[in-house]
Structure 1
Amino acid sequence: MTSATVATVGLAGAMTDPPQAGAAPQVGPDVSSHQHPGGASINWFAVRASGQHMAMVKATESTWYVNPHFVPDSLAMRAAGLVRGTYHYADPSRSATQQAIFYATIVLGQNGILDLPPVLDLEHSGGLGPRALAAWVREFFAVLEPLTGRKTILYTYPNFWNTAMGATREFADHPLWIASYNGGAVPQMPRGGWRTWTFWQFTSSGRLPGVSTPVDLNRYNGSVAGLRAYGNAINVFGS
């Protein structure tokens, strides 16, 4: 992946773990402003028609940046019937509390129809050592999750987790979105105590109809029905 007006964010449902894995993994892209060269739009209906069931979009970064394409992409994803995820690109050199509140405010809690749980994209240490970085993540989750009512998904790389996070097992109860470009049938897993993965980013150079640039592609470790249940969207806009 790549590097406000205050609103009231309500608690909208209980925190739940992702559904059990089912059939063959489902594929979907994650995007940011880099997929909008020159302000070009993504044709989310073409993305959906190509067989994708989900998509992730960058919402925020640090304490100040909002992806200018976040709102139009989100609206078009929903109109196309895609299960939508959003992510916050972490800046551990700045306040975890402020970033959690900022993200929750921009995504308005993210617990509606077609919404996957929020995501913390953790791939830089901000100069913190493993203990301090783990404390930063702990604080971010402690602030964000009461605002969303959902258990945050954690995006990271195996090597980053094993080194910058000291291979801590503290967060193994959070769903894992792992970036692993190993070309294999399963991703390389970090030494963090996870028994399995929930999402797997398996390439950064995918191609899809409706997207004019190379794009990250991801698998969900389960069936279409499981994905839609995780996104509060069973029987919405068909299968």
Structure 2
Amino acid sequence: MAKRVTRKPATSKRRPSKKKSSFFSAKFYVIVFFLALLCFGGYHYREALLYYFSFKSDKIAKEDKVYQARIFQVLQKHQDKVLGFDVSQYQGAIDWEEVDSVEGVKLDYVFVRATAGSDKVDLKFEDNWTNARKYKFIRGAYHYYRPNENSVEQAKNFIKNVKLQKGDFPPILDIERLPENQSMDSLQQGLKRWLELVDNHYKIKPIIYTNEKYYTDFLKEEFKGYTFWIANYNFFVENIKDDWLFWQFTEKARVEGIEEHVDLNIYNGTPKMLNYLTISN
């Protein structure tokens, strides 16, 4: 009788899942990218970081010092420009007597949020608006535009609550959000209605505030006759662009007299040119 041979089942060598392998590969490259970015950033801002970590108050958190180091470096590159800030109810109660400068650079102007949408008035507007003038800052009032609310009512809200005087900046329209229930064409028409109504009331062309992407994608071509105040907080952007009237380059500034972080702005011109921008009568 022939001997019966029992065969063992072949063991299969499992290949690693492509999906799992791809995930870890992608994760690895992301980590490498951010480590490289951190190293480059640390080298790029080495002098400013050394300044902050070595000499600045320990009361400033380490992560905050990185933001302050960038602010320091940007200001060093724009010593011939004019520095300002902007405030709203989110900064809380401000000790205006203490507000003076950032990194030794004098603050000359302030943008104050006045209204939002068709019925909102900033809770600190009256106080901030009055004190800005009292403490000799050139002041500007801005309206936060809500895309899904009536543009005419929004213009009326701003006009009702903002009394501009000689020496103030032109009115400012702040547009940051995309519409939910209307097309971009419809939004642009609404913005134009707001601008026209406000222009007709104050007899001066408003300034438009937005972020750089919004400006490039939706406003630059459609609103060519207007000047723009642009927000760009990119850590490695250090220079104001030619077509920006103002550049809001950080939202992380520390200003004496204000407990919360503050936005800082650079005017693209000299102090004399800044005065020409204000209302003359």
Same fold (TM over 0.5): yes
Q: Identity of paired residues, percent? A: 29
TM-score (norm 1): 0.77
- Correspondence for 1:226: 273
User: Would the aligned equivalents of 1:62 and 1:89 in 2 still touch at CA under 8 Å?
Assistant: yes
Pairing partner for 2:203 from 129, 146, 149: 149
Which residue number in structure 1 is paired with residue 172 of structure 2?
119
Between the aligned partners of 2:271 and 2:111, the Cα distance in structure 1 is 16
Post-superposition offset of 1:231: 2.5
Q: Which residue of 1 aligns with 2:33?
A: none
Pairing partner for 1:197 from 244, 250, 259: 244
The gaps in structure 2 that reach 5 residues or longer are: 1-78
Q: Which residue of 1 aligns with 2:264?
A: 217
Greater helix percent: which structure? Answer: 2
Letter paired with 2:85 = P
Which residue is 1:134 aligned to?
188
Indicate the residue corresponding to 1:58 in structure 2. Answer: 113
When Rg is computed on C-alpha atoms for both structures, the one with the higher figure is 2
Q: After TM superposition, where is structure 1 displaced by more than 4 Å over at least 4 residues in a row?
A: none
The aligned amino acid for 2:126 is V
Structure 2 residue identity aligned to 1:144 = V
1:45 aligns with 2:93: no
Q: Say if 1:48 and 1:81, in contact at 8 Å, map to a contact too.
A: no
Query: Is the CA contact (8 Å cut-off) linking 1:152 and 1:174 kept in structure 2?
Result: yes
Q: Is 1:77 the counterpart of 2:132 in the alignment?
A: yes
Distance in 2 (CA, whole Å) between partners of 1:88 and 1:225 is 26
1:25-47 deviation digits (Å, cap 9, x = unpaired): 211111111100xxxx2122322
User: Is residue 29 of structure 1 aligned with residue 85 of structure 2?
Assistant: yes
Distance 2:143 2:157 in 1: 9
The TM-score, its normalising length taken from structure 2, stands at 0.66
Q: Which amino acid aligns with 1:116?
A: F
Partner of 2:75: none
Q: CA deviation at 1:115?
A: 0.7
Identify the structure with bigger relative contact order (alpha carbons < 8 Å, sequence gap 6+): 1
1:99 is matched with which residue?
154
Give the count of matched residue pairs: 198
Structure 1 residue 147, shift from structure 2 partner? 0.5
In 2, the alpha carbon distance for the partners of 1:231 and 1:210 equals: 26
Tell me the distance in 2 between the aligned counterparts of 1:223 and 1:168: 24
Q: Does structure 2 conserve the Cα–Cα contact (< 8 Å) formed by 1:82 and 1:114?
A: no
Aligned equivalent of 2:68: none
Aligned partners of 1:145 and 1:151 also within 8 Å: yes
Q: Which residue of 1 aligns with 2:224?
A: 172
Distance 1:49 1:59 in 2: 23
Contact 2:108-2:138 at 8 Å conserved across structures: yes
Which amino acid in 1 is paired with 2:223? F
Retained in 2: the 8 A contact 1:31–1:57?
Answer: yes
RMSD: 2.0
SS of 1:138's equivalent?
helix
Unaligned runs of 5+ in 1: 1-22, 190-194, 234-239
